[in-house]
Amino acid sequence: MISIPDQQPELQRTPEFRRLRRYIRFGCDELIQGVHATTTVDELMDMLKHNLNFVQGVQRYAMRDDIPAIRGILLDVAEKWESLSQNETFLSGEPFSRFANFMRDITNGPEQRNMISGVISDVYEVLEAQGDYKVGELIAPFYTHLDLPEIADGLRLPNIQYSVDEKGGVWKGTTKLLSRGALITRQFVDIDDIQDPQYEILFQTSAGKWRTTICKHLDLLDKRKFGENVLCHGLAVDPAKILATMTYMSEYLETNGTIIETETYYTRFGWRPDFSGFVHGENLIGANESKPITLWNDTETLRLAKAMEAKGTAQEWFQNVFEPAAEGWTNSYPLFVLASHLSSAILPLVNRNTGWITHIFGSSSEGKSILLYLAVSAVMKPERGLGYMGWDASVVGLESRAATMRNIPLALDDAQNSGQGKRAESTAEKRKDIAYMLTNGVGRTRGSIGKSRMAETTSWNLTALSTAEFRLKEYVATSGSDVRIFEIGSQNRFFSSGETANEVERNTARYYGSLFPLFMQRVLEIRETYGQDWFTERRAGLKEFLERNISLENRDMGIATRTIEAMSIVGVTVEILTNLFIDQGWIPEDSDQTAYMVDAWKTIATRIVDDAAPVGRDHNQRMLEWLQVKSVMNREKFWESEDQDKREPPTGWWGRRISKPDDQVEYRWTKEALDRVVKEGAYMGITTSGVVTAAKKTGIFIPGKDRDVAKTRIGDETIWMYRFAFENRNDDEQA
């Protein structure tokens, strides 16, 4: 044992070291001499225990006055320990960890223990460049008296600078980071975003109970998010130590990354990035088999997955839903709508980056919603909010749904007329935003989520079905809408028999979700057997077939060509379905049923091309001449009174008629009247937006102030109207 000078006991009792700097240095020299005089490890430990309070005092004083003496003491102790411990190499990780354990064994309480951790940290910083001293202590032993739940074997503190006190609190040197325990026990990796995992944090509450919370990887990199998303769950962190705690968590992950239990999960449906499988519900569909997967515990995703569980077999769906809808293999609509819906899944395989909306319009009770239910039931349960949504859903909600579905098609049912005025303009703008967003396949750009990262922009690649009593293109007068929205209207009804329609509707609630997995398994088999080029080659072949059978003369070539390209993709789906139905034994090969499959696709595809790019050398002029005829021949429906305050407009009126100088007459159409009349010309390829666009180009359209519609007062009511100025001809001449 060393000889302590007379002043030394006084040093052990008082913290006033500033006046006694000289004595501390003297005491340190004496202590180092005593260290070198020891001959065994036990003697070295015994000597340190008797002088621990002195060492503790020196450590505190040295930190304040930047005296390096304490490092000298510990370096000498370390060298002596090395010489007495079977001459183990001191400058390596594991021996240094054992040295740290040896030093901590001499302590009698948490204060001394944390002091030793602090001085060991000093040595660690001095020797870090000379060896690996980053191996911390095993965590589990510190919590044996605190009912720690089962954790992975081998979890350690990040390095020797960290320690745990009797209450489970975490210290770095002499700084307390957490007053209670907090351990990262599991990490969850999104199969589509392995760079941004989530972590399960097991922590003690102030009452000592163990709880868990989820922390995103980015939360560990941003102080504000760490405070908002992690600390709010009850971690016992000193607010002044948040950054130090974040550093501890990051170092903890670096140390234990290979030990922490890792679980992979899926957050989105659709294709895997390498096309090795397709996620539908809680199954990963492969070419040869399907296997169960784990979805992230998100309520909406799990609800959708549940709705994708098959009810009934695919054969039962075919016999009870599709076959009756085909009405003796004479009704073209069910096959085309189904194929357009399922084409969503093969868009990436044919190198198409944007989808489309197949819009079914017609009067009430014509069966348009039943067609939508039929197509949806092939994929999942046709229930509102699950298999399909309404046009009244929010743009954000639809964006989230599209991002989750990714390659599984969407459906929007029953868009409603929206009146007039500002409400009508707002609704039209919303529909335009939805249509563009869904078909473009990209969500809205959002702000920063960190110091150097922007929020991820969601994306998808899918098709959608839509229904309404009016044309969707009337509300989506944007560039490219003619090749993003394909509209199907009925000549009379979509089903010849109301009884058939009712039967199909009932059966879609009994059989659903079974055809799509079978279809996707066939798609994967084709890709595995023939390669992805098979899909692009078949699309090219069917595109040539349509171009041979649909004259492109006197059409808008750009719109016609791009529409045919989309219809050829639907044709690829029809071909896959046909072969699938034959192989399953549902229809015979080379039969009326197989001929129906081709004819139904060709019939509706031709009608869609005619609608998108109608024949006519001067399509704009054709539309305006048609509108002028409708205006003149229905003159009695236009109110011509000059005294608006004394006379109400006639019942069923369309608008106002105002004579102008220079043999001109202005017709002001209400929006509802123009929409209704334009719909009558649906099979001529005429739309309200097309009429307005054409009138603008020719100067016939008279714009209002800063808008396409002008304001007209009818008594106390303000009505917005479209204004067209035509040459004033007599009725017979005009007709």
CA distances from 380 to 308, 394, 512, 515 (A): 4, 22, 6, 9
Nearest by Cα to 164 from 92, 107, 98, 209: 107
Contacts of 207 (CB under 8 A, 6+ apart): none
Residue count of the chain: 735
Report phi then psi at 371, rounded to 5. -60, -40
Q: What is the pTM of this model?
A: 0.67
Task: Decide if pLDDT at 64 tops 60.
Answer: no
User: How much is the average pLDDT of 134-150?
Assistant: 80
Residue-level pLDDT at 114:
66
Type of residue found at 23: Y
Q: Are 210 and 149 in contact (CB under 8 A)?
A: yes
Separation of CA 247 from chain center: 29
**Residue-wise pLDDT tens digits, 509-520:** 999 999 999 999
Q: Are 574 and 580 in contact (CB under 8 A)?
A: no
Report phi then psi at 386, rounded to 5. -120, -80
Residue-level pLDDT at 10:
39
Helix (H) or strand (E) segment spanning residue 526? helix 515-530
Which SS3 state, helix, strand or coil, does residue 273 take? coil
User: How much is the average pLDDT of 565-581?
Assistant: 97
Domain boundaries, the chain: 8-130, 140-264, 270-303, 304-612, 619-734
> What order of strands is seen across the sheet that includes strand 193-204?
210-216, 193-204, 182-190, 261-265
DSSP assignment of 280-321 equals ETTEEE-SS-EEE--B-S-HHHHHHHHHTS-BS-HHHHIIII
**Residue-wise pLDDT tens digits, 598-639:** 999 999 999 999 888 877 645 566 677 777 877 887 888 888
Residue-level pLDDT at 355:
92
Q: What gap in Å lies between CA 448 and CA 222, rounded to an integer?
A: 12
Nearest by Cα to 638 from 623, 658, 624: 658
DSSP assignment of 539-551 equals HHHHHHHHHHHS-
Higher-scoring residue by pLDDT: 298, 508: 508
Q: What does the DSSP 8-state code read for residue 565? A: H
Report phi then psi at 412, rounded to 5. -125, 120
SS3 letters across 583-651: HCCCCCCCCHHHHHHHHHHHHHHHHHHHHHCCCCCCHHHHHHHHHHHHHHHCHHHEECCCCCCCCCCCC
Dihedral sign (CA 371, 376, 381, 383): negative
